[in-house]
Structure 1
Amino acid sequence: MTDNDIYTNDGTITIKNERAIRSKTGNWKACPFILGNECCERLAYYGMSTNLVNYLSDRLNQGSVRASTNVSNWSGTCYATPLLGAFLADAYLGRYWTIASFSIIYFFGMALLTLSASLKELQPFCDADSCHPSSTLTAITFVALYMIALGTGGIKPCVSSFGADQFDETDVKERKRKSSFFNWFYLSINIGALFASSVLVWIQMNVGWGWGFGVPAVAMAIAVVFFFSGSPLYRIQKPSGSPFVRLCQVVIASFRKFNVKVPKDKSLLFETTDAESQIVGCRKLEHTEKLRFFDKAAVETDSDSGKSKNNPWKLCTITQPSTAK
């Protein structure tokens, strides 16, 4: 058997930073842990957020308008933080460590929210007309909510891609299995959301907010356990560095060669000679005819020899942002 039969060919490694062995890692052996993590995380998120307006209105005495505004602001933050999570995963941490670290932040946020709704010392004084929360309770609640918003920002953009990393794109059989993974992935999301929007809402309205937030917190704890349990089986893509730095390299290299003419034959543009991209974990991109000015960054000149050939601020491959377009 050759190395191509034993190891994956897409550059993935194991948690021990060793080259991933095809028969021992990834595929459906690793996916149940990822699917379990996603199902429990979505259950926790929707279980906590679906009825959040009622909680802020009822227990924190914010009124419907103010509560709705605060929930909208929080929800918007939940959809903005994935930009940070995706950047950190791609550039520096990798998907595994991004999911792992942000999941822990997420859990502590859920635990703090549960404590704020459960501890007798923090409960608001309620009369016949309304409840009167302390400033401490309000502060703890919003700290917890925005910890959750930060936590979901590291999970949301990475989990589906991390699942896809478990299948080697260069292998025909594994490429077909990847499509099935996404079917199961979205099924797990909907199972979690269904349970949260029905059973957990009923618990919150009929049993109490402590239990209503406690169950999602436990679900998030299970999600963390699920994810770490599969660590020995995961295939991990190395982070590829900051895309913003690569973009700047292309722009600067293009302007340095402002007077250089781009050849009509795209094969004359600079690119690595092997099958892999110069960017770790990425495949080569197809060249297009748009924004041809930035192709100047990939034009080799007489000065691009020796050390300059390894200097991306002077000579870029077609794979880099704006060169491949």
Structure 2
Amino acid sequence: MPKLCGCMQGDVEGSKEDHVPLGLAGKKGRGGFRATMFVYGLVALDSMGFVANTVSLVLYFMGVMHFDIPTSANTLTNLMGSTFLLTVLGGFISDAYLNRLHTVLLFSFLEIMHAPSSMWQGKLCGGWYRIYVVLHAGFASIGFWGVRGALPALGADQFNKKGPEGARALASYFNWMALCTVWKGFLVSTVGTFIGFVILAAGKPFYDLRQPGDSPLIRIAQVFALAIRNRRLPLPRLRNCMRSVTKKPSLMRKNLSTLNNSVSISHDYQSTYHICSEATCSLISYATCRQDR
């Protein structure tokens, strides 16, 4: 086979790179979405416990640790700030010293370990007990930022980023990872909303339902429709018609006089619309009402 020139050979090599496998090159059976399933499992279960504890820590500090409200809120703020800010250190450790899997496993022990409750019972009080609580929460925070700093990158390493298929798979990976993080809130909200709709529908036999009919918005729209239809009629004729129908010529206004034309006149005002009652006109100066039949 004749040798290709440099430019053609480069094109062939580039086309080969565009069709690289989705997983890691040279490691058959590894990488890809099959490997990320384990990452999804940890993200879903770890986020469940972390979010549940986060929303109740203020009550825990107030009710169990007997902190006042400002101290409880400040402690939670410092804990959350350090937890999410120091994830950069977790990523640095996984890049420079340990691989990402070992980093996650190492810091996971720091996240879940704690001293037995009977060990310090009755031995610490006052400021020392507060220091113990902060250190105890600090270990959980350190474990969390170590895990979260390396775990997303661990899943991203399972895809070959050289080809277009790998790039699309990488985007899908992060989308599924975000779903695993927030699935608890969406699931609980969806189930709760569905139950609420079922309860609302179950009360149908007990409701006194109002039949749909006229609406204030329709009446306001009728004002403008009649004003446009009667825009060329002279005002004296409108005033006489108003007096003959309502006996109240005071309903005619000098300001916004264009809307005075909304008064239905001639022989057709009794067939479709008529002047509103006194109570309605006291609320809406220019309005027409559907005639009762």
What amino acid does structure 1 have at the position aligned with 2:148?
K
The 1:145/1:161 distance shift into structure 2, 3 A limit, reads: same
5+ residue gaps, structure 2, are 1-15, 190-293
Q: Secondary structure of the equivalent of 1:156?
A: helix
The 1:121/1:90 distance shift into structure 2, 3 A limit, reads: closer
5+ residue gaps, structure 1, are 13-18, 125-131, 198-325
- Residue in 2 aligned with 1:168? 160
Once residues 89 and 11 of structure 1 are traced to their aligned partners in structure 2, the CA distance between those partners, rounded to angstroms, is: 21
Offset of 1:157 from its aligned partner?
A: 2.3
Q: Secondary structure of the equivalent of 2:99?
A: helix
- Residue in 2 aligned with 1:253? none
Q: Secondary structure of the equivalent of 2:168?
A: helix
Q: Does 1:27 align with 2:32?
A: yes
- Verify the 8 A CA contact 1:43 1:193 in the aligned structure 2: no
Q: Does 1:151 align with 2:143?
A: yes
Paired residue total: 173
The 1:55/1:100 distance shift into structure 2, 3 A limit, reads: same
Offset of 1:177 from its aligned partner?
A: 1.8
- Residue in 2 aligned with 1:187? 179
Once residues 85 and 120 of structure 1 are traced to their aligned partners in structure 2, the CA distance between those partners, rounded to angstroms, is: 30
Once residues 20 and 141 of structure 1 are traced to their aligned partners in structure 2, the CA distance between those partners, rounded to angstroms, is: 49
Q: Secondary structure of the equivalent of 1:163?
A: helix
Q: Does 1:74 align with 2:79?
A: yes
Q: Which moved more, 1:62-71 or 1:187-196?
A: 187-196
What amino acid does structure 2 have at the position aligned with 1:51?
S
TM-score by length of 1: 0.46
Once residues 83 and 156 of structure 2 are traced to their aligned partners in structure 1, the CA distance between those partners, rounded to angstroms, is: 23
Q: Does 1:122 align with 2:127?
A: no
Offset of 1:172 from its aligned partner?
A: 3.3
Once residues 188 and 150 of structure 1 are traced to their aligned partners in structure 2, the CA distance between those partners, rounded to angstroms, is: 22
Once residues 122 and 76 of structure 2 are traced to their aligned partners in structure 1, the CA distance between those partners, rounded to angstroms, is: 20
Root mean square deviation, CA, Å: 3.6
RCO higher in structure (CA 8 A, sep ≥6):
1
- Where do residues 58-97 of structure 1 align in structure 2 (5 Å cutoff)? 58-97=63-102
Q: Secondary structure of the equivalent of 2:86?
A: helix
- Verify the 8 A CA contact 1:122 1:136 in the aligned structure 2: no
2:41 to 33, 36, 48: 36
Q: Could you tell me the percent identity over the aligned residues?
A: 20
- Verify the 8 A CA contact 1:39 1:188 in the aligned structure 2: yes
- 1:255-310 Cα deviation digits (max 9, x unpaired): xxxxxxxxxxxxxxxxxxxxxxxxxxxxxxxxxxxxxxxxxxxxxxxxxxxxxxxx
The 1:136/1:98 distance shift into structure 2, 3 A limit, reads: same
Once residues 53 and 90 of structure 1 are traced to their aligned partners in structure 2, the CA distance between those partners, rounded to angstroms, is: 35
Once residues 155 and 97 of structure 1 are traced to their aligned partners in structure 2, the CA distance between those partners, rounded to angstroms, is: 10
Q: Does 1:48 align with 2:53?
A: yes
Q: Secondary structure of the equivalent of 2:176?
A: helix
The 1:196/1:80 distance shift into structure 2, 3 A limit, reads: farther
Offset of 1:20 from its aligned partner?
A: 5.1
The 1:93/1:10 distance shift into structure 2, 3 A limit, reads: farther
- Where do residues 1-325 of structure 1 align in structure 2 (5 Å cutoff)? 21=27, 23-108=28-113, 111-112=114-115, 115-116=116-117, 122=121, 138-192=130-184
Q: Secondary structure of the equivalent of 2:154?
A: helix
- Residue in 2 aligned with 1:235? none
- 1:145-171 Cα deviation digits (max 9, x unpaired): 000111111122222222111111123
Q: Secondary structure of the equivalent of 1:93?
A: coil
TM-score by length of 2: 0.51
- Verify the 8 A CA contact 2:62 2:72 in the aligned structure 1: yes
Once residues 86 and 71 of structure 2 are traced to their aligned partners in structure 1, the CA distance between those partners, rounded to angstroms, is: 23
Once residues 188 and 132 of structure 2 are traced to their aligned partners in structure 1, the CA distance between those partners, rounded to angstroms, is: 23
